[in-house]
Chain A
Amino acid sequence: MPKLNLTRREFLKVSGASLFLAGLPLPGFTSDKPPGTISVIMLEGGMDGLTAVPPFGDPNLLRMRRNLTSDNYLKLNSFFGLHPSFKYFAGLMAKNNASVVHATNFPYVLRSHFEGQNLMQGGGLSPFSETTGWLGRALDLAKVPGRSLSLDMPLVLRGMSDNDNFYPASIKSSSDLMTQLIDTISMAHSKEGSEIFAKVSKKSTQKDSIVPRNPASLAKFAGKAMSQDGGPLSSVIKVDQFDTHANQGSDENGNHGTQLTLIDDIIAGYKEGLGDAWDRSIILTLTEFGRTVLENGTGGTEHGYGSAGLLAGGAITKSRVISQWPGLAKNEQFEKRDLMSTIDYRSVCAACIEKSLGLDHDLIASKVFYTPKLPRVYDQIFS
């Protein structure tokens, strides 16, 4: 996989204006055919936004997070840096194909993984209020199929009956699937079981090459599939183990840094797989919450609130760090412990849907996120 070797000097060229977000939604555009693809990297456990994208320009960062901040971060602008695990992503930023949104989260403040993960996928007004996911609803509105690259169907994609997940099986002594057998089984089942077996049957006629299991290779596979005519327009990759309550580490070799490297590899995998389709693609990360500003007593961090989101893809034509920086001082923190969230991440998701699926922002706000007044941030990301 190509990795760009960038020096710190080159990073200084990256444009990184911190923007203020306000204003009412502007009218969006719609078109008959979805213009692009949308992929979500779900980071379970709570990615530490302050480790991933350290705001080294904030004097409180090193004072409060000495042991959690890598000293060889990659400089983005005079205020923000990137964790050294993000070498590929940094290269994309240098080429104006990636951006960061910082101090952001879904509007969820109670710090439970399971409520938070449900909300970030369901996209409803409260945890466990939805049985479908925001991406599934968006795809349904755009009438396009999605695909998930893990064994269980994540909530985020539910809501569209044509969604299917893909995680290659490797079971010794089992032979190729027999379409007629599966069709017969499918007919014996009532609606819910029947539909699922019908999908299996349909898949049995497809020739999927053997795919390795690591996330980067899955991303490459997904990218390739999405690059085909009539291929899926969306994919989701889930990575866990971000819940570093102990021994979080600071650099690439630390426990959090290792997970960040996975994100970097996944994005590189997508880029390689998408090929020319990269130009119409957007990839975004999603995590349930950030982590506490202060290190806890065991070299780790506890569940927090605001985090960072990473965006990559050819749909981005100008790299930025989009942030309304709240500050890290105690009185600037959320409940005197967490990074405040000043940008509603649902707006970021909505902008990515608008760009990739060509849906109108107002429609997304009301039908996908049930929040008609959700601010539109499309211009800050894509103009």
Chain B
Amino acid sequence: MNEQFRVAHKLGLMFHHDTPLPEDVKAWAISQLHAKSPALGIKKVKHYPKAKVQEWPKSLQPDLKKRDDMFAVYKQNVRKQRMELEGHTSEAAKRANNRENLMGEKDEMKFAHRNIYGKDQVRLRFTSFWANHFTTGNIWDNQNHIGHAIDEAILANLNGSFSHMLYKMTTHPSMLVYLDNVWSSGPNSKNVIWAKEKGKQAGLNDNLGRELLELHTVSPSAKYSETDIRNAAKVLAGWGIWPGNLSDGLMTLNERNNKLIEMGETTNSWDFFKKWHAEPGNKTVLGKVIPAGKGGLRNLTDFLASHENTIMFISFKLAEHFVSDNPSKSDIDYIANAWRLSNGGLDQIHSAVIERAISSKAPKFQWPMTWLFQVVRLSDASFFKGWDQIEKYDEGLMEVRKIFEELGQSFWHTRQPNGYSSAKSEWLSGEMFERRIRFSDAIYTAGYPSFSPQEIMDRIGANEATRELVNSLLGRKKQFIALMCSPELMGLENA
């Protein structure tokens, strides 16, 4: 590939056919870190000519409060349905409840659209890296939160510091729900004392405390103890709201809001701290003394964010994701150094990643979702439905949720908190490769690409081996499949 597309393959999602190729590709990639683009997408799929790309409608991008309210209403309706109340039991009522109050499907479509039509491809790749680092899945009742976390806790904070992003993700309801912290209360909190008096259960849950140390920051290389984990959990105790209804009764939104204010002095689920659930007293984590109270968590996340083990652990992850499948020590050190010098400034860290990814000539195997977005962008195919078609059956086009399911990768799946591996070895299997062939076929067949394999090869400056492979086949469809599954576009070595 020419230098522009080689870099876009490693660090971005490929240039659209109407985007002029930058002359200084490194300067372009670094400037992309500040590229601002609204969520772009299409209303409805059209092939000749292709549908107009426009901003996602505001009505489909509710703020967090609205999302929480919608979910509370959803839960109430489900309860009414179980009670067999009139007007709530028909299939139409159930569908309307899903359509009006659940965000998972819309958010997943918006994410796909954004990655396909977005003008901020490098930013979006870093967004996906961090969304995976701070994995939150659709476990419990989390689907109205995941898309909001990706957009507002990750993408919106991409130009700040790692410590800020860490704090914003740790306190985001998407994380607090996914790793059970919403339930947790300190062993000496008022809530636990009252519960004991009434013979009820309440106490600590260490799930988020453990993963905050193991996965989000210092990693097991820091050799923390179970006591460190428990103390981190005690710092976290009190953070978060259980989504949906707060009690067994059918609460109105007003009553719910009043209850929230009583518990956490706010209705904002992204800044929600229940002092009655908090653990009194100082806590020590990895030798650092953390004071009691709401401010304690920021002390902890700031301490962990600048910890040397965090820097080395995440610098490796970044290098493995963007630079090469076997990053060198100097790649990792270069990123870690930028981290130390900038005190965790994400712009500087990301710029260092970009520099190393460009200077390393090694191919980088791409995730299934990254590859899919790249194939669709290169060919200008229409493979994802538009937002007006969410509920409409189409015999050619797959549901967005189904696409990601078949791909074997989605930020909206229930999955383990360590997220998807960037290691090539995790993805080398017949099943995964068969899917690349089938998806290439489906994108060609149902997506009506605007460009032929020859035109795409010319634009990207495909290498000799790729041209030989494609030209040895007869028929555009076969050529298209071979191009998209070539070593060059998958990020593997040529034979």
Contacts and interface: CB of A to CB of B under 8 A. Distances in A.
Interface of A: 44-45, 67, 110-115, 131, 151-153, 164-167, 169-175, 177-178, 181-182, 184-185, 187-190, 192-194, 196-197, 199-200, 203, 240-241, 243, 245-247, 295-300, 302-303, 335, 337
A173 B472 contact: no
B398 A296 contact: no
Q: Give chain A's interface secondary structure class.
A: loop
B201 A185 contact: no
Interface stretch (B88-96, B146-154, B482-490): B482-490
Interface in B421-472: 425-435, 437-439, 441-442, 445-446, 465-466, 468-469, 472
Contact of B469 (A45, A110, A164, A184): A184
Given A190-B493, A193-B490, A240-B414, A174 B438 contact: yes
Interface residues of B, number: 67
Interface of B: 139, 179-180, 183-185, 187, 192, 201-207, 210, 214-215, 220, 226, 395-398, 402, 406, 408, 414-418, 425-435, 437-439, 441-442, 445-446, 465-466, 468-469, 472-473, 478, 481-482, 485-487, 490, 492-495
Given A173-B445, A181-B473, A188 B494 contact: yes
B485 to A, nearest CB: 5
A45 B64 CA distance: 30
Contact of A173 (B207, B396, B495): B396
B430 A164 contact: yes
Nearest to B230: A302
B185 A152 contact: no
A166 to B, nearest CB: 7
A51 to B, nearest CB: 16
A297 B493 contact: no
Given A188-B486, A240-B414, A193 B183 contact: no
A188 B465 contact: yes
Contacts of A241: 139, 414
Contacts of A297: 183-185, 187, 192, 201-205
Contact of A181 (B427, B432, B482): B482
- For the complex of A and B, the 7 pairs showing the least CB-CB separation, nearest first, are A297-B203, A298-B183, A173-B446, A174-B438, A199-B430, A153-B429, A190-B493
Contact of A152 (B427, B442, B487, B494): B427
A181 B429 contact: no
B207 A302 contact: yes
Contacts of B203: 296-298
A112 B220 contact: yes
9 contacts: A112-B214, A171-B438, A173-B398, A175-B441, A189-B493, A189-B494, A193-B493, A241-B414, A299-B201
B391 to A, nearest CB: 17
Contacts of B437: 174, 177, 181-182, 185, 200
Contacts of B179: 245
Contact of B205 (A110, A165, A298): A298
Nearest to B425: A131
Contacts of A177: 434, 437-438
A153 B433 CA distance: 12
Nearest to A302: B206
A380 B42 CA distance: 64
